Amino acid sequence: MSAPLLELKGITRHFSAKRSLAEHILGAFGHASAQPKILRAVEGVDLEIRKGEVLGLVGESGCGKSTLARVATGILPPTAGSLAYAGRDVATLSRAQRLEYLLKVQMVFQDPYASLDPRMNVERIVGEALAVHKLAPRGDIAARVEKALTEVGLDPAYAKRYPHQFSGGQRQRIGIARALAVEPDLLVCDEPVSALDVSIQAQIVNLFLDIRAKRAMTYLFVSHDLGIVRHVSDRVAIMYLGRIVEIGPAQEVFSSPAHPYAAALIGAIPSLSRRKRSFEPIPGEMPSPLAPPSGCPFHPRCAHALPVCSERRPVLAPIAPGRQAACHLHAAEAAS
Amino acid sequence: MTSLPRDGAPPLAIDTPIRRRVLLLARRRPTTRGSLLALLALALAVMLAPLLAPQNPYDLASLSVMDNRLAPGEQGMGGITYWLGTDSQGRDMLSAILHGMRTSLIVGVASTAIALAIGVAAGLVAAQFGGAIDSAIMRLVDFMLGFPSILVALVLLSAIGRGVDKVILAIVLVQWAQYARLMRAAAMVERRKEYIEAAVNFGLPTRHIMLAHLLPNSIGSVLVVATISIASAIALEATLSFLGVGVPVTQPSLGLLIANGFEFLLSGEYWIAVFPGLALVALIMSINLIGDRLRRSLNRRAL
Ligand SMILES: Nc1ncnc2c1ncn2[C@@H]1O[C@H](COP(=O)(O)OP(=O)(O)OP(=O)(O)O)[C@@H](O)[C@H]1O
Ligand code: SF4
Ligand SMILES: [Mg+2]
């Protein structure tokens, strides 16, 4: 249960932000900076996803969760840093090995409407990778599709139907079947239930747990919903402005968060009786990833900020067995 | 909520293929059905022109100069009735129109098909690869669209001479760019969707992603525009032929027939120009009506 299946080392992903029209005009007169702006979506993330675990990833909107998920699955190349799958650096893999990595690390998407090709029927959607890569003999593909559909709780009789004939929850099941058809080891789920009705969410979460039990599946589970993350995760990582600020066993992090941001986020967890699905906003806004603050990225909003916080960025450091946080408060504790 | 069409039929689904869309629309709308039937009749008449036409208008041996400029309905020397009259060389206008429409339709459909293929390929490549390839293609597109099409076609044809193939070439040259621009825009929207990311995640080859996913999902609106553009291609060809730089005299299209009859309009022999003109209007209108219905049905994503 401890060997890392996927290891992210110093993963950084920048986007070049488009300049606004006003900036273009100013630029033409030499008033704006000449170089294009850089959007720092993910900045130096180190993360281990261990075989068999469910690692939850939470953070406010725009903190880079989806970007990190896409880099982990190989959909987006990182700007810097490296990925190791089963101990091997993905950048050094041969063509065939790289395909194997891509297939073993599968994404489950957020939007059940945009994630299925509207012009393909379910059988083609789920069987496409098998057919194109010739992973199964032509005649066996229908049976493989049927098996995957059954596994996600869909009637294989629906195989000839098109996505628009299904509900959101059923479409999400089709997306999961598509991923399962290529026998992945790791499912990277990017807010897989946030677009669904509350009543359907629990069914899909339970499906993930069933798959985990049957296949010993590993998960990177991204969600806004702290209640769900707490329910499914073994470990949880808290992300802020492109960085991981705290990571540790889910029960410990949720019961005694160490990082002030994690504490604020978890303190804002809605009581289960009220069934509100997203956390209350923390006072202040997340700074723009175009111009991250100096020092600790959280210092403009932090209630515990020290003078050093605006000068030096705290690094992710062990604070207890299996737990890490990036905060000067804990460095000070450790020193005293 | 979109309101149901008057007959209460359910709206068409977004992914109804164009072919089915046309049939469904035709079943529901009398005007669409009318234009579709008209177009089918015209197309059939055109394909069977050599069989249907009472005479072969370009076999000079079968013409009799004695029959020249007969009014519609008059009988010629050989005892044939010329229902649409004859031209200055004694040619049966009905036969000339059937053959002329054939040329017009061939030019319109062939040039649109070729321009569509080139434009769609260019737009797809631009959207998929982006960067310098995209800039280069789109700069060329902007350059092409910067000139009035009639001007480009006129200049080109006066340089290379007339001929059916040359007119097709000229129309392709002025029309491919609009398809490239439309296709690129549509494909850029599709490319951002998660099903494309899923395809990348499966390590599917770029060529497969472009042909199996991007192409079928982005081509719908381009095809509709192409339907309407057949009409503008026919109009452009007619204009060029009317101006004398289009099809050769041995293979006159409707535009050239109008030009030939033009000089007789003032002397009262209206039929030599007017009947080919009416045929041209009928052809263009039936294509436009169908294209327009298609476009509106796509815009509202339902009937
Ligand atoms: N393709 C892209 N091009 C430019 N900027 C991008 C792109 N993808 C993401 N970003 C930017 O990167 C930042 C992080 O985005 P990301 O989607 O990873 O956040 P997120 O944590 O998943 O947010 P959410 O909870 O809203 O899904 C945002 O500022 C976003 O605008
Ligand atoms: S490092 Fe400073 S500003 Fe950042 S979270 Fe810790 S106390 Fe707050
Ligand atoms: Mg996201």
Q: Taking chain A (336 residues) in consecutive chunks of 10 residues, what is each chunk's mean pLDDT?
A: 86 84 66 72 96 95 95 96 95 95 97 94 96 94 96 95 94 97 97 93 96 96 92 96 96 93 78 48 80 91 90 93 93 63
DSSP A32: S
pLDDT at residue number B87: 78
- Is some CB atom of chain B closer than 8 A to the CB atom of A329? no
- Is-contact B183 B119, C-beta < 8 A? yes
Question: Of chain B residues 141-180, which have a CB less than 8 A from chain A?
Answer: none
Taking CB atoms and an 8 Å limit, are A110 and B208 in contact across chains? Answer: no
Nearest-CA distance A227 → chain B (Å): 26
Residue ranges per structural domain of chain B = 51-58+67-298
> Environment class of residue B67 by beta-carbon count within 10 Å: exposed (0-12), middle (13-18) or buried (19+)?
buried
State in Å: Cα A244 to ligand 3 middle. 15
Atom 3 of ligand 1, nearest CA residue:
A15
Task: Tally Cβ neighbours within 10 Å of residue A200.
Answer: 18
Q: Which atom of ligand 1 is nearest to the CA of A17?
A: 4
- Is some CB atom of chain A closer than 8 A to the CB atom of B216? yes
Atom 25 of ligand 1, nearest CA residue:
A61
pLDDT, tens only, A92-120 = 999 999 999 999 999 999 999 999 999 99
Taking CB atoms and an 8 Å limit, are B197 and A75 in contact across chains? Answer: yes
Atom 1 of ligand 2, nearest CA residue:
A327
Please report whether residue A36 resides in a domain: yes
Please report whether residue A29 resides in a domain: yes
pLDDT at residue number B96: 86
User: B61 is written with which tokens?
Assistant: 């041996």
Atom 26 of ligand 1, nearest CA residue:
A61
The residue of chain A with its CA nearest to that of B213 is: A117
Closest CA to A224 of A192, A197, A251: A192
pLDDT at residue number B299: 62
Model pTM score: 0.85
The residue of chain B with its CA nearest to that of A120 is: B213
**A–B interface: beta-carbon pairs under 8 A:** 62
Residue-by-residue pLDDT tens, chain B, 303 positions: 444 444 445 556 656 667 777 777 767 777 778 878 888 888 888 888 777 777 777 777 777 777 777 777 777 777 777 778 777 777 788 888 888 898 899 999 999 999 999 999 999 999 999 999 999 999 999 999 999 999 999 999 999 999 999 999 999 999 999 999 999 999 999 999 999 999 999 999 999 999 999 999 999 889 989 988 999 999 999 999 999 898 888 888 898 888 888 888 788 788 888 888 998 998 899 888 888 877 777 665 433
> Environment class of residue B290 by beta-carbon count within 10 Å: exposed (0-12), middle (13-18) or buried (19+)?
buried
pLDDT, tens only, A4-30 = 999 999 999 999 877 666 666 666 666
Q: Which residues of chain B neighbour A115 with C-beta distances below 8 Å? A: 193-195, 197-198
Please report whether residue A307 resides in a domain: no
Q: How many alpha carbons lie under 13 Å from residue B90 in its C-beta half-sphere?
A: 15
pLDDT, tens only, B58-97 = 777 777 777 777 777 777 777 777 778 777 777 788 888 8
Domain B51-58+67-298 sits in CATH 1.10.3720.10: yes
CATH code of the domain containing A66: 3.40.50.300
pLDDT, tens only, A34-63 = 566 899 999 999 999 999 999 999 999 999
pLDDT at residue number A330: 84
Question: Can you give the residue range of the structural domain that contains A165?
Answer: 4-261
- Is some CB atom of chain A closer than 8 A to the CB atom of B204? yes
pLDDT at residue number A273: 43
Complex-level ipTM:
0.89
The pLDDT mean for chain B works out to 85
Please report whether residue A139 resides in a domain: yes
- Is some CB atom of chain B closer than 8 A to the CB atom of A106? yes
Nearest-CA distance A254 → chain B (Å): 32
What ligand has the least distance to the C-alpha of A294? 2
The CA dihedral of A253, A199, A118, B18, to the nearest 10 degrees, is: -150
Q: Which residues of chain B neighbour A110 with C-beta distances below 8 Å? A: 194
Q: Which of A18, A38, A45, A66 to mutate to test the pocket of ligand 1 (most atoms within 8 A of CB)?
A: A66
pLDDT at residue number B4: 41
Taking CB atoms and an 8 Å limit, are B194 and A115 in contact across chains? Answer: yes
Nearest-CA distance A184 → chain B (Å): 11
Atom 13 of ligand 1, nearest CA residue:
A41
Taking CB atoms and an 8 Å limit, are B194 and A117 in contact across chains? Answer: no
Q: How many domains does one find in chain A? A: 1
Q: For residue A73, what is the enclosing H or E element?
A: helix A65-73
Q: Which of A296, A301, A310, A311 to mutate to test the pocket of ligand 2 (most atoms within 8 A of CB)?
A: A296
Task: Tally Cβ neighbours within 10 Å of residue B58.
Answer: 15
Please report whether residue A289 resides in a domain: no
pLDDT at residue number B301: 46
- Is some CB atom of chain A closer than 8 A to the CB atom of B10? no
What distance in Å separates the CA atoms of residue A223 and residue A236, rounded to the nearest whole number?
A: 11
- The CB-based long-range contact list for B16-25 (8 Å cut-off, 24+ gap) reads B18/B220, B18/B223, B18/B224, B18/B294, B21/B294, B21/B297, B21/B298, B22/B290, B22/B294, B24/B303, B25/B293, B25/B294, B25/B297, B25/B303
Q: Does residue A308 sit in helix, strand or coil?
A: helix
Taking CB atoms and an 8 Å limit, are B204 and A128 in contact across chains? Answer: yes
Nearest-CA distance A244 → chain B (Å): 24
Taking CB atoms and an 8 Å limit, are A164 and B204 in contact across chains? Answer: no
> Environment class of residue B146 by beta-carbon count within 10 Å: exposed (0-12), middle (13-18) or buried (19+)?
exposed
State in Å: Cα A223 to ligand 3 middle. 8
